Amino acid sequence: MSQQPATEYDVIGVGFGPSNLALAIALDECARRARLKCHALFVEKRPHFIWHGGMLLPDADMQISFLKDLVSLRDPTSPFTFVNYLHKRGRLEGFINCRTFYPSRLEFNDYLRWVAGQFKDLAAYGETIVAIEPVTAGQFVTSLRVRSRTPGGGETVRLARNLVVAAGGAPHIPAIFGKLADDPRLTHSSSYLDTVDTISADHKAINIAVVGGGQSAAEVTVDLRGRFPNANVDLIFRGHALKPSDSSPFVNEIFNPEYTDFIFSQPGEHREAIVRNFRNTNYAVVDSDLLDQLYRLLYQQRVSGKEHIALHPRSEVTGVVPTPNGIELETVDKFDGGSRRRAYDAVILATGYDRDRPLSVLEPIRTYIQGSEPDRNYRLATSPTFRPHVYLQGYSEASHGLSDTLLSVLAIRSQEIAESLLLTISRRELIAYA
């Protein structure tokens, strides 16, 4: 039996999270306006749409306004706004009565899933892309062969004239914990809700370590206290204190889409200085309301005389030893040099994500990529013989600013990429008709 030829797409997206979901909307809108056809597909390794499923904690709110949804900053009349979602769900009046700009994380995930459901024909769920290979004709690379592994273990091959990589960050596992990567007693916060039920506290005073000093670490610590009242939770972090995120209005302007132009126009050393100066808006910081909640929990412990949560600032993990009785952590106070050793029944790493360029999946075409950063429209520079355009979403913080990994610029960035893609498609069509 002859093998069926691979289906060719104008664009294939790697991942179908908020970034590529926003792109799906923008491509549809821009193609309709330009009266072009854009054959797109988004390949997502998860079996269905979900956004940070491991941290959809029941009491966690968004830290960004609902107006920074998938489309509102570009087109507030779009049917895909968060406001229209509320209207369709019959909750608009109720949300207004809540008097907040910050919906729960659960509700915002439901909004994203509601939008994704309207683009389900463009998504291939449950597939993991394993290779992206050049397809050549003479001396030119004309398209990309995208190989993905299906849930049943088979392989699907498709062709892409263009590629958009938005696979998100990989959980960061500090090197000292690397040898325990397969130990079920160790988990990253990205999988917290998927694994927390394996911690059996019952009425035992088990010991749990949370490593990290940012938002996720604080959220997990508070959640553990509610789930396992008898557990002892140690929050281990390197800073002097848990620090609040700076969400004041003037500082928050760095997340405005037009700030991307300013960042991109700066020389490299200026970009680094700007990102470093504003790191307290996004890294190793905690929402002020959550800090208040955690502080009240600690104060109530002092009132009751029963300590179940302990903070360990200035602490560096210097030793990790798996034992039958738990994972033994050795920590050192970075200032007085004092050391501490304790065994834990569970260790949760709230240590963030790695967002290096996705070179593993792009390795077969790496020789065609020129330069170390994408252009203003997020497209990688490639050699003259390489015709496909390759775009990155969420990997350009160093060149485009702190907002690149956040929701703030989704509406505008997706339009910029969509317009760049459709310009390529229209040129191809003109050549075909010539």
Q: Is the pLDDT of residue 352 over 80?
A: yes
Instruction: Give the C-alpha distances (Å, rounded to integers) separating 190 from 59, 187, 195, 196.
Output: 17, 8, 10, 11
| Tally of structural domains, the chain | 2
The answer to whether the beta carbons of residues 421 and 161 sit under 8 Å apart is no
Angle between helix 105-117 and 82-89 (nearest 10): 90
SS3 46: coil
pLDDT tens, position by position, 356-406: 766 688 899 999 999 878 999 999 999 999 999 999 999 999 999 999 999
Least confident of 152-166, 268-282, 312-326: 268-282
- Listed residues 329, 353, 377: the one ending a domain: 353
Q: Under 8 Å CB-to-CB from 298, ≥6 apart: which residues?
A: 309, 311
My answer on whether 59 and 102 are in the same domain is: yes
My answer on whether 339 and 316 are in the same domain is: yes
Q: Is the pLDDT of residue 316 over 60?
A: yes
Residues 235 and 221: their CA atoms lie apart, in Å, by 7
Angle between helix 18-34 and 105-117 (nearest 10): 40
Q: Give the pLDDT confidence score for residue 434 in this predicted structure.
A: 43
Q: Give the pLDDT confidence score for residue 2 in this predicted structure.
A: 43
Q: Is the pLDDT of residue 29 over 60?
A: yes
Position 250 in a domain: no
The DSSP output letter for 121 is G
Q: Which two tokens stand for residue 90?
A: 């019959």
Q: Is the pLDDT of residue 432 over 80?
A: no
Cut 0.75: pTM above it: yes
My answer on whether 33 and 103 are in the same domain is: yes
Residues 9 and 30: their CA atoms lie apart, in Å, by 17
Beta strands 155-160 and 140-149, pairing class:
antiparallel
Position 344 in a domain: yes
Q: Give the pLDDT confidence score for residue 279 in this predicted structure.
A: 86
My answer on whether 320 and 364 are in the same domain is: no
SS3 330: strand
Q: Which of 235, 335, 217 is nearest to 283 (CA)?
A: 217
In a 13 Å sphere around the CA of 415, the CA atoms on its Cβ side amount to 12
My answer on whether 75 and 132 are in the same domain is: yes
Q: Give the pLDDT confidence score for residue 430 in this predicted structure.
A: 53
Q: Is the pLDDT of residue 162 over 50?
A: yes
Position 277 in a domain: no
Q: Is the pLDDT of residue 157 over 60?
A: yes
Q: What is the mean pLDDT of the chain?
A: 93
Average pLDDT over residues 31-35: 91
Dihedral over Cα of 249, 250, 255, 259: its sign: positive
* CATH assignment of the domain containing 211: 3.50.50.60
Q: Give the pLDDT confidence score for residue 413 in this predicted structure.
A: 97
Helices (H) and strands (E) in the chain, counts: 13, 21
My answer on whether 124 and 228 are in the same domain is: no
The answer to whether the beta carbons of residues 359 and 392 sit under 8 Å apart is no
Spatial strand order of the sheet with 128-137 comes to 7-9, 155-160, 140-149, 128-137
- Listed residues 316, 336, 353: the one ending a domain: 353
My answer on whether 298 and 385 are in the same domain is: no
Position 37 in a domain: yes
Residues 375 and 372: their CA atoms lie apart, in Å, by 10
Position 359 in a domain: yes
Residues 246 and 227: their CA atoms lie apart, in Å, by 29
The answer to whether the beta carbons of residues 70 and 115 sit under 8 Å apart is yes
Structural domain for 89, as ranges: 7-169+355-433
Q: Is the pLDDT of residue 270 over 70?
A: yes
Residue with the bigger pLDDT between 431 and 67: it is: 67
My answer on whether 47 and 145 are in the same domain is: yes
Q: Which two tokens stand for residue 257?
A: 């889409």
Q: Which two tokens stand for residue 337?
A: 């040099």
My answer on whether 293 and 200 are in the same domain is: yes
Q: Which of 257, 244, 261, 254 is nearest to 277 (CA)?
A: 254
Q: Give the pLDDT confidence score for residue 385 in this predicted structure.
A: 96
- Listed residues 353, 386, 402: the one ending a domain: 353
Residues 388 and 163: their CA atoms lie apart, in Å, by 7
- State the CB neighbour count (10 A cutoff) for residue 261: 12
My answer on whether 15 and 157 are in the same domain is: yes
Beta strands 339-344 and 326-333, pairing class:
antiparallel
My answer on whether 95 and 235 are in the same domain is: no
Rounded percentage of the chain residues whose pLDDT exceeds 90? 85
The answer to whether the beta carbons of residues 72 and 25 sit under 8 Å apart is no
The answer to whether the beta carbons of residues 375 and 389 sit under 8 Å apart is no
Dihedral over Cα of 363, 364, 365, 370: its sign: positive
Position 253 in a domain: no
Q: Is the pLDDT of residue 337 over 90?
A: no
Residue with the bigger pLDDT between 268 and 71: it is: 71
pLDDT tens, position by position, 91-137: 999 999 999 999 999 999 999 999 999 999 999 999 999 999 999 99
My answer on whether 313 and 183 are in the same domain is: yes
